[in-house]
């Protein structure tokens, strides 16, 4: 039977590419999303991949959502914590809400989804959790104390949970994307983005599929000895 994977934020951007890559690897994929119903419908129509709506920042909603996936499709073997938001702004202008939304969704989402699925993976002796961090969690970024803190937290979360999963066949890894050609990056003011791209040795933004291929490897049978690692996919912008 095909293994079941949930990709959070899986109907758009990097998440969409991950959903497709895991489907191509033979997983039964469910793409979670939080807001954009129209996009989710179009995604399912185009790909045949089902979507389910819940807020990954809501603990109870994650428990209920994952339970529903398990009932409909079978036990959850792989989770890709990709859902994330930005609320950029310098600290002196940042509201508590902007801080809290990013922590609750980006970092809290990883905890909530792991709580909902890790015990089952551990009991069955096989699991894959891939958390999407960021270059900005590794290096920091002007105007992103919230996002950098949450993404940095994801890298710590990954290394800690990897130690708990290792002897049960559950690997936990992170990918740290650089600047990828998505709506999120397109929202960075053009003159700021130009300066950032000028500092990428490869000389361009990354493509969502370049992240997705890394996720597919980490979720595969071949990656059983890879755990607690962070794969940087950033065009050489930060070598860490």
**Which residue from 50, 75, 143, 169 is in contact with ligand CAA, where contact means CB under 6 A?**
143
**Which residue from 30, 179, 214, 219 is in contact with ligand CAA, where contact means CB under 6 A?**
179
Question: Has 147 been annotated as catalytic?
Answer: yes
Q: How far is Cα 57 from Cα 187, in angstroms, rounded to an integer?
A: 22
Q: How far is Cα 208 from Cα 214, in angstroms, rounded to an integer?
A: 10
Which residues have C-beta within 8 Å of that of residue 160, sequence separation ≥ 6?
Answer: none
8 A C-beta contact, residue 115 and residue 41: no
Q: How far is Cα 212 from Cα 229, in angstroms, rounded to an integer?
A: 16
**Which residue from 37, 91, 119, 142 is in contact with ligand CAA, where contact means CB under 6 A?**
142
What is the smallest separation between the CB atom of 58 and ligand CAA, expressed in angstroms?
A: 22
CB neighbour burial string for 61-83, b if at least 16 within 10 angstroms, e if fewer: bbbebbeebbeebebbbbbbbbb
Catalytic residue from among 33, 142, 147, 240 = 147
Stretch that binds ligand CAA, among 51-59, 121-129, 183-191, 217-225 (CB under 6 A): 183-191
Applying CB under 6 A, what is the total number of residues that bind ligand CAA? 20
144 is a contact residue toward ligand CAA (CB under 6 A):
yes
| Contact set with ligand CAA (CB under 6 A) | 86, 88-90, 93, 134-136, 141-144, 147, 177, 179, 184-185, 188-189, 192
Catalytic residues: 147
């Amino acid at each position: 039977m095909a293994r079941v994977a949930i990709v959070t934020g899986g109907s758009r951007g990097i998440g969409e590419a991950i959903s497709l890559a895991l489907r191509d690897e033979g997983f039964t994929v469910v793409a979670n999303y939080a807001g954009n119903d129209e996009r989710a419908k179009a995604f399912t129509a185009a790909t045949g991949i089902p979507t389910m709506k819940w807020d990954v920042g809501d603990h109870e909603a994650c428990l209920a959502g994952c339970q529903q996936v398990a009932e409909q499709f079978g036990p959850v073997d792989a989770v890709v914590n990709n859902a994330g938001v930005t609320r950029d702004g310098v600290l002196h202008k940042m509201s508590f809400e902007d801080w809290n939304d990013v922590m609750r969704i980006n970092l809290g989402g990883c905890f909530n989804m792991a709580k909902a699925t890790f015990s089952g993976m551990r009991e069955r002796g096989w699991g894959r959790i891939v958390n999407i961090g960021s270059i900005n969690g590794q290096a920091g970024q002007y105007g992103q104390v919230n996002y950098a803190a949450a993404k940095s937290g994801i890298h710590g979360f990954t290394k800690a949970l990897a130690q708990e999963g290792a002897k049960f066949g559950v690997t936990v890894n992170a990918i740290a994307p650089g600047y990828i050609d998505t709506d999120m990056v397109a929202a960075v003011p053009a003159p700021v983005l130009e300066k950032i791209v000028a500092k990428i040795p490869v000389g361009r933004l990354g493509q969502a599929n370049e992240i997705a291929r890394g996720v597919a490897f980490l979720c595969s049978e071949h990656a059983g000895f890879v755990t607690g690692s962070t794969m940087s996919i950033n065009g050489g912008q930060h070598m860490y």
